[in-house]
């Protein structure tokens, strides 16, 4: 997949409406992700499985976008396509105006998964610096960067520990630090808090909004938690299965500051309801109306 | 049952498919298992930890006392079974020549283990990297696994001549090869999908992925293979001495002294053989423990 350097859509923070056209603009690289008619088919013995079809999505630089939907809606598949861990079957996918493969090789994105995926024989520092080590960064530079990242995720006292000495939440913070090692402009996250308890989860959500703001990176965040998607995101992309596709894109309009008080605010609940209705495809019955 | 038969049996059992494909034990599980006083361990009553050490010592002492009773006190044992006291005397009197022969057998076993392991690691790496090579090697490895090592020992000894230790080394190498190969090949296939994704997303090339992920993942499996192979290598090197070659080594001495009626000295050499086997086992077990202490997260 080769990326025409000038091919793009107009600035498209509104999402769905502007994507999928072949109009050209000068600011293609200001878009973190541009997907036009992206589809993914997995061939199986019993026939082809359509995992994704007709995905039109743009993510602006610095924007926080969540992908939400039931199992099998292709949200993780879409993330893996963006990360070039799988390849598209159809359509066009650009990351900062480049092909997904080029963006991966250029380390334009960092990624974190539901499993922390730390190498158990490496210390916290060894895990955080892994991408830097692979790219031949000098030892002194690596050490400085590890110290910086460890303090960013609040693990400065734990850099010499091994992953099995850490809690699940701490392991996940190490994984996030590793994803940020190359100072990516795009952070891809596949249910990174999915296996954590509720308290750790809410704490790390707050931390993530702070980190995203500090680093100015765009984030594509896969989740199946409605409150999580609303709390974190500028826009929530609602997806639906069989075949996997985008059904709705909802801007949250909750502003730049995401504090704990937001979780109790009426706007927040309103957005949660809106996303829930989009997921169910109909207005949700309230408990007191039953 | 003669000693030779017993050793042949042990060798065959050791070469059994089931016993050469153990998964490495994660250190954490072992630590948990030794935790002792947990409230819900299923069995109800957990004996205090000192019992674990004292119980086998008591069993050993009881057997020793029965042995002394049968041989020395009641004097109803056959001539070939000497008293433990006589054996200890022989060990004390002849420790110099016993140690000399132990060094020869241990050296053969060690060189054989190293050779077998190196070939196994190289072929295992090739087999894991290239599917067709795996297909080509699989029947060969199965064949080596089922060949009773004693069956080809006389041939190898004749092949390399009566003055060379290499026949014995080769026997130990062939016997060590299979468990190391099987475990290395298995270990090289144990990388987890999430780790492969992490490295791919970090833009790692094939060699980097092998060095940073595939190899460290396989090391615990290699160590398990080495632990199993180490005992087999000692047995193989010792048994090979029964089939010719130079007139030295533990096995040669046991055969000679057993035939010439010096049963106590023969048993003293058996003790030497046990010491070698134990040393090999303990060292490789320790290496395995070190290699498996970091369990995957």
| HEC secondary structure over B83-131 | CHHHHHHHHHHCHHHHHHHHHHHHHHHHHHHHHHHHHHHHHHHHHHHCH
> Angle at the Cα of A195 (from A175 to B194), degrees rounded to 5?
50
Are residues A120 and B208, on separate chains, in Cβ contact within 8 Å?
Answer: no
pLDDT at position A39 is 86
Distance in angstroms (rounded) separating the CA atoms of residues B99 and B101: 5
What's the pLDDT band for B296 if we cut at 50, 70, 90? low
Helix (H, G, I), strand (E, B) or coil at A46: coil
| Cα Rg, chain A, nearest whole Å | 19
Question: What order do you get walking across the sheet with A186-190 strand by strand?
Answer: A109-112, A186-190, A218-223, A64-68, A235-240, A245-251
Q: What's phi and psi for B12, nearest 5 deg? A: -65, -40
Domain ranges of chain B: 3-34+79-291, 39-77
Provide mean pLDDT across the span B42-55. 78
pLDDT at A286: 58
Give the confidence band of B101 by pLDDT, cuts at 50, 70, 90. Answer: very high
Strand order in the sheet with A31-44: A47-60, A31-44, A90-95, A98-99
Give me the pLDDT at residue A198, please.
Answer: 86
Residue A262: the pLDDT is 84
Q: What CATH number was assigned to the domain covering residues B3-34+79-291? A: 1.10.3720.10
Beta-carbon contacts of B293 under 8 Å, excluding residues fewer than 6 positions away, are B27
* DSSP symbol at A47: E
Query: Span B95-114, mean pLDDT?
Result: 94
Residue A126 burial (CB count, 10 A): 18
Residue B73: DSSP 8-state: I
Per-residue pLDDT tens digits for A36-75? 888 888 888 888 888 888 888 989 888 999 999 888 888 8
| Residues belonging to chain A | 290
ipTM confidence score: 0.81
Average pLDDT, chain A: 82
Q: Taking the CA atoms of A132, A135, A141 and A143 in sequence, report the sign of the dihedral they define.
A: positive
Which tokens in the block code for residue B189? 């296939």
Instruction: Select the residue of A85, A119, A134 nearest B195 (Cβ to Cβ).
Output: A119
Indicate which of A115, A163, A187 best probes the interface with B, i.e. most B CBs within 10 Å of its own CB: A115
For A170, half-sphere exposure in the C-beta direction (CA atoms, 13 angstrom radius) is 18
Angstrom distance (rounded) from CA B16 to CA A240 = 53
Residues 6+ away with beta carbon under 8 Å from B135: none
Cα Rg, chain B, nearest whole Å: 23
pLDDT of residue B163 exceeding 90:
no
Q: Is residue B95 left, alpha or beta, with left meaning phi > 0 and alpha meaning psi from -120 to 50?
A: alpha
Per-residue buried b or exposed e for A10-34, using 16+ beta carbons within 10 Å of the residue's own CB: eebbebeebbbeeeeeeebbebbbb
Q: Which tens digits make up the pLDDT trace of B9-39?
A: 444 444 444 444 555 544 444 444 444 444 4
Query: Residue A13 pLDDT > 70, yes or no?
Result: no
Confidence of residue A285 (pLDDT cuts 50, 70, 90): low
Beta-strand pair A245-251/A235-240:
antiparallel
Contact A119 B208 (CB under 8 A): no
Q: How far apart are CA B243 and CA B250, in angstroms?
A: 13
Domain ranges of chain A: 118-183
Rounded to the nearest 10 degrees, the angle between the axes of helix B149-160 and helix B215-240 is 70
Least confident of A95-104, B32-41, B88-97: B32-41
Cβ within 8 Å, pair A117-B195: yes
Q: Is the peptide bond before A243 cis (omega within 30 degrees of 0)?
A: yes
Cα–Cα distance measured from residue B210 to residue B99, given in angstroms and rounded to the nearest whole number: 43
Least Cα distance to A12 among A97, A81, A74 occurs for A97
Distance from CA of B34 to the nearest CA of A (A): 18
Measured between CA atoms, the residue of chain A closest to residue B208 is A134
Residue of B nearest to A162 (CA): B294
Q: Which residues contact B240 (CB under 8 A, 6 or more apart)?
A: B108, B153, B156, B157, B167, B168, B171, B172, B251
**What average pLDDT does range A174-188 have in this prediction?**
90
Split at pLDDT 50, 70, 90, the class of A241 is confident
pLDDT at B42 over 80: no
What CA–CA distance (Å, rounded) separates B71 from B79?
Answer: 9
**CA distance linking residue A98 with residue A216, whole number of Å:** 20
Residue B196 has pLDDT above 90, yes or no: yes
B67: number of CA atoms within 13 Å, CB side? 13
Other CB atoms within 10 Å distance of the CB of residue A199? 9
Place of tokens 């380390």: A107
Chain B, nearest residue to A116 by Cα: B297
A188 forms beta bridges with A111, A220
DSSP element (H, E) containing A50: strand A47-60
Q: Show residues of chain A in contact with B212, CB under 8 Å.
A: 119, 130, 134
* Residue B203 sits at the chain A interface (C-beta within 8 Å): yes
Looking at residue B3, its pLDDT comes to 45
User: A100-152 pLDDT, tens per residue?
Assistant: 888 888 888 999 998 999 999 999 999 999 999 998 888 999 999 999 889 88
The two structure tokens encoding residue A61: 């630089």
Which of A:137-176 have CB within 8 Å of B? 162-164, 171
Rounded CA-CA distance B212/A121 in Å is 10
Q: What percent of chain A has pLDDT over 70?
A: 87
Contact between A40 and A51 under an 8 Å Cβ cutoff? The reply is yes
Mean pLDDT of the residues in chain B: 82
Does B206 contact A at CB distance below 8 Å? no
Instruction: Map residue B164 onto helix, strand or coil.
Output: coil
Going by pLDDT thresholds of 50, 70 and 90, the confidence category of residue B130 is confident
pLDDT of residue A106: 86
CA neighbor of B280 nearest in space, from B195, B183, B137, B172: B172
CB contacts < 8 A (A, B): 62
DSSP state of B23: P
Residue-wise DSSP of A224-244: S-HHHHHHH-SEEEEEETTTT
Distance of CA A2 to the CA centre of its chain: 23
pLDDT tens for each residue of B255-278: 999 888 888 999 999 999 999 999
Number of Cβ within a 10 Å radius of residue A272: 19
B295 at the A interface (CB within 8 A)?
A: yes
């Amino acid at each position: 997949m080769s990326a025409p350097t000038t091919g793009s859509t107009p600035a498209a923070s509104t999402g769905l409406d502007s994507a999928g056209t072949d109009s050209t603009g000068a600011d293609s690289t200001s878009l973190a992700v541009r997907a036009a008619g992206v589809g993914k088919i997995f061939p199986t013995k019993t026939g082809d499985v359509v995992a994704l079809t007709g995905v039109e999505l743009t993510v602006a630089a610095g924007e926080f976008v969540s992908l939400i939907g039931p199992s099998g809606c292709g949200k993780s598949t879409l993330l893996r396509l963006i990360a070039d861990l799988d390849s598209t079957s159809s359509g066009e996918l650009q990351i900062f105006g480049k092909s997904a493969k080029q963006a991966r090789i250029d380390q334009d994105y960092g990624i974190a998964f539901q499993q922390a995926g730390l190498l158990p024989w490496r210390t916290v520092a060894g895990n955080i610096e892994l991408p830097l080590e692979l790219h031949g960064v000098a030892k002194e530079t690596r050490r400085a960067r590890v110290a910086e990242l460890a303090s960013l995720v609040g693990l400065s006292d734990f850099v010499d520990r091994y992953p099995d000495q850490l809690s699940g939440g701490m392991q996940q913070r190490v994984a996030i630090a590793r994803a940020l090692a190359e100072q990516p402009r795009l952070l891809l996250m596949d249910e990174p808090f999915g296996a954590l308890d509720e308290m750790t989860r809410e704490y790390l959500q707050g931390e993530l909004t702070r980190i995203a703001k500090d680093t100015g990176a765009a984030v594509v965040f896969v989740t199946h938690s409605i409150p999580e998607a609303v709390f974190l995101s500028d826009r929530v992309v609602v997806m639906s299965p069989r075949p996997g596709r985008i059904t709705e894109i909802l801007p949250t309009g909750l502003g730049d500051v995401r504090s704990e008080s937001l979780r109790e605010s009426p706007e927040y609940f309103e957005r949660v309801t809106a996303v829930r209705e989009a997921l169910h495809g109909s207005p949700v019955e309230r408990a007191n109306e039953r | 049952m003669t000693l030779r038969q017993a050793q042949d049996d042990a060798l065959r059992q050791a070469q059994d498919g089931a016993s050469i494909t153990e998964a490495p034990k994660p250190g954490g599980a072992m630590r948990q298992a030794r935790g002792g006083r947990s409230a819900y361990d299923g069995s109800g009553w957990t004996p205090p930890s000192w019992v674990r050490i004292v119980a086998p010592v008591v069993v050993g002492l009881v057997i020793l006392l029965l042995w002394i009773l049968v041989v020395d006190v009641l004097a109803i044992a056959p001539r070939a079974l000497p008293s433990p006291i006589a054996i200890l005397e022989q060990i004390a009197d002849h420790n110099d020549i016993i140690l000399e022969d132990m060094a020869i057998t241990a050296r053969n076993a060690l060189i054989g283990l190293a050779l077998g392991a190196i070939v196994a690691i190289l072929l295992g790496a090739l087999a894991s990297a290239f599917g067709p090579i795996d297909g080509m090697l699989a029947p060969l490895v199965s064949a080596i696994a089922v060949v009773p090592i004693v069956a080809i020992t006389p041939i190898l000894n004749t092949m390399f001549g009566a003055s060379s230790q290499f026949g014995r080394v080769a026997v130990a190498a062939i016997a060590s090869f299979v468990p190391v190969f099987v475990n290395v090949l298995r270990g090289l296939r144990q990388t987890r999908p999430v780790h492969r994704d992490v490295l791919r997303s970090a833009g790692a090339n094939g060699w980097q992925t092998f060095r940073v992920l595939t190899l460290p993942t396989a090391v615990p499996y290699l160590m398990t293979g080495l632990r199993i192979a180490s005992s087999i290598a000692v047995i193989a090197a010792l048994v090979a001495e029964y089939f010719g070659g130079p007139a030295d080594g533990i096995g040669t001495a046991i055969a000679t002294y057993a035939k010439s009626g010096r049963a106590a000295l023969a048993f003293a050499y058996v003790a030497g053989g046990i010491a070698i086997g134990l040393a090999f086992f303990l060292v490789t077990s320790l290496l395995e423990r070190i290699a498996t202490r970091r369990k995957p997260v």
